[in-house]
Amino acid sequence: MPLSPKEQNLFQQKIDALQEDLAKVGVVFRADWSCCQSCGHAEMKAELKDEEYEFDTTYIFYHQQATEDLKEGADELYLAHHIIEGDLEAVVEVLEEYGSDWKGEKDKTIRIPFLADDEMSNRIRGLIASK
C-alpha cells in the first residue's frame, strides 16, 4: 500500500534528521542516490574524488530502487555504505538512534525501520500529530 501523506512527511523528516546527525560525525550521506547499489558506489567514489574529499571517506546512501520500494509501502529502508574503521563506532551509535540493529558488518546493508517504534519515529509522529 502506498505511503500516506503523513507517512511521507515522517519519512522525509526522519531522513533529514539522519543526514544531519551523520554529517555531525563526518559522514557523507546521499538520499535517493543513483539507480542501484553498484552504480551508487561508483558514482559516490567519483563525486568524492571530484570534490577533493580525503581518499578514504565514510559515506552512506540509499538508491532509487529503495525509494520506489518505500513509495510502494515498504516499512524499512536499506542503506549502502563504505565506512572507514575510525568512524565505525560513531556511525553505529547514530544509526541505533534510528532503530537500526546494524553493528558494523561490512558485508551487510544497514537496515533502518521506517515506521518503527524508535525514539526518532515517535518524536516525529508526535510533531505530525500536533499539527
Q: Show me where the domains of the chain are located.
A: 5-129
Specify the 3-state DSSP secondary structure of 17.
helix
- Least confident segment among 1-15, 53-67, 78-92, 115-129: 115-129
Radius of gyration of the chain (CA): 15
CB neighbours of residue 11 within 10 Å = 19
Which contacts of 122-131 are long-range, i.e. CB under 8 A and separated by 24 or more positions? 124/10, 124/13, 124/14, 124/17, 125/10, 127/13, 128/6, 128/9, 128/10
pTM: 0.81
Return the pLDDT at 90: 97
Give the confidence band of 99 by pLDDT, cuts at 50, 70, 90.
confident
25-29, 61-65, 117-121 — which is least confidently predicted?
Answer: 117-121
Contact 104, 88 (CB under 8 A): yes
Helix (H) or strand (E) holding 92: helix 88-96
In this predicted structure, the answer to whether residue 93 has a pLDDT above a threshold of 90 is yes
Query: Using an 8 Å Cβ cutoff, are 102 and 92 in contact?
Result: yes
